[in-house]
Amino acid sequence: MEYTNLLLEKSGPIAVLTINRPKALNALNSDTLSELSTVLEELGRDSSVKVVILTGSGRKAFVAGADTSQMKGFNPLEGRCFVQLGQATFRKLELLPQPVIVAINGLALGSGCELAMSCDIRLAGENAKFSQLEMTSGLTAGFGGAQRLPRLVGTGLASELLLTGDIIDAKEAYRIGLVNQVYPLDSLMEEAQKLAKRIAGRVPAAAQLSKSALQRGTNMDLDSAQACEAKAFGLPLVLRCCAAFVE
């Protein structure tokens, strides 16, 4: 299937998904979010894809936020529907069976930062900038920023970033734990591919179960989370026993 605002390339076990609106700094509008939701469903059904890399088109921006040219015409109901579409799409990304590496190749502002936080592993180019800048326009984070940011960097730092709308660079994002690694922009995708190949080389079922246990357990009490992990640990053993029995 072809998309207007996205590019999807599959090479062996790795899929590269690119937000492709460079003239708008890859800003997210309703059409782009709808396409992203559709392509995530496609990827989730594709057992040949073991790892997904998400990035933005061009060298200036990963995603520079929501498309303000569309948002300025919203009434309150339309605004809420737009936010709900974004939340549902980002949650679908978060729950995708395959691990998702995001290569942040520039500005990750507002919903761009929230999109990056919905991925499993965040790699940033040295030119990357991060902000939940909604506060500077009299708005609030809407696509999950107020929920995911404190889970990643702690409540105190999240409060500062959310309440000021300050922009931080890639070095500071690494320092506070918002991104895993920082690379020169010219080598960012190469490093993302290297990591994706390492993950794809593991047993796919184990990778997916590990992701599921992590995602589910993060929002549980420790005892429930450990029970979830034990269940995930046992599933590959069951599959091995079944395979041995068939043989």
Query: Which residues on adjacent β-strands are paired with residue 125?
Result: 183
CB 232 within 8 A of CB 215: no
Six-digit token string for 8: 């999807």
Active site residues: 114, 134
Report CA torsion sign: 174, 179, 180, 181: negative
Residues in the chain: 247
- What's the CA gap between 101 and 118, in Å, rounded? 10
DSSP strand pairing (6-11 vs 14-19): antiparallel
Six-digit token string for 50: 């073991």
Q: E strand or H helix at 92, and its extent?
A: helix 76-94
